[in-house]
Amino acid sequence: MDLKIRWPTVVIIIALLIISLYALTEVNYYSYKNVAESKDINASVVIIPSIGVFEKINNVSISQGVFIDYISNIPTKGDVILYGHRTLQGSPFLRLDALKKGDVITLEWPGIGEVNYTVKKSEIISPTNSLVLNESHKTGDIHNQELILVTCHPIGSTAQRLIVTAELNSVSPINETALEENPQAHWAWIISFGFLAFGLIVAYFSPVDERKIILAVVIAITIVLIYFSIFPASSQIWADKLGWLNGLMGVS
């Protein structure tokens, strides 16, 4: 018996595969515990309690979470610049626009300590504007140093940049426990089983004679997602594969 698949079913399968690539990127992001492998960064963490941010800092790529700019200094040695996505790759700076003056941002930085900053302003600028560090901050006076957080604006667009500036106000002993935590690991499982639930719904409303095909695709993809929830790889691998698609959609 010949197996004929109608074009609407082909479209559904392609859509499921595209969605699964995004899900795979997020699963690896949340379950991969060694995001910051560089000896220079050594698993530093940025914590923003008021908007629920707890993220490792890396100097490899923004696709691996919160990225420290190559022109940035390290805390207590001058101004620090951190970049993060508002969509995909964990969306670390999704709610950056909700930060208010006086909110606290903490950097747990091995070799330096727990460095606390206080938000002083937010602004929206053109993506063509360049960030310039204030070299006069390299005076040894920690109170003259700033932390600058950068993300895209509005959500899902690269049209503008949202900049949050905070000033350094204190340094204390590092919280070693915080450096070892991975509080978002459970999101990998939520995404995996969320995809399964979504796929089952799609299969249920599909034509009866092609339902098994769609169901088989959904189960196969879910198995892959579960595998990477247990044995994650760097999200950079999948982010690179989706770069062209994100560019077409203008997603940041």
What is the Cα–Cα distance from 61 to 46, expressed in whole angstroms?
16
Q: Are strands 113-125 and 53-58 parallel, antiparallel or unpaired?
A: unpaired
Give the orientation angle of helix 186-204 with respect to helix 211-230, to 10 degrees.
180
Q: Are strands 146-153 and 80-83 parallel, antiparallel or unpaired?
A: parallel
Give pLDDT tens digits for 194-244: 999 999 999 999 888 888 999 999 999 999 999 999 988 776 666 666 666
Degrees to nearest 5, angle at CA 122 with 96 and 137: 110
pLDDT above 70 (res 41):
no
Task: Give the per-residue pLDDT at 40.
Answer: 45
CA 42 to each of CA 45, 51, 207, 236, 243: distance values in angstroms, whole numbers, following the listed order = 9, 24, 52, 18, 27
Domain boundaries 45-180, CATH class? mainly beta
Give pLDDT tens digits for 129-163: 777 666 655 555 666 799 999 999 888 788 889 99
Whole-model pTM? 0.74
* Residue that is written with structure tokens 């796929």 in the block: 199
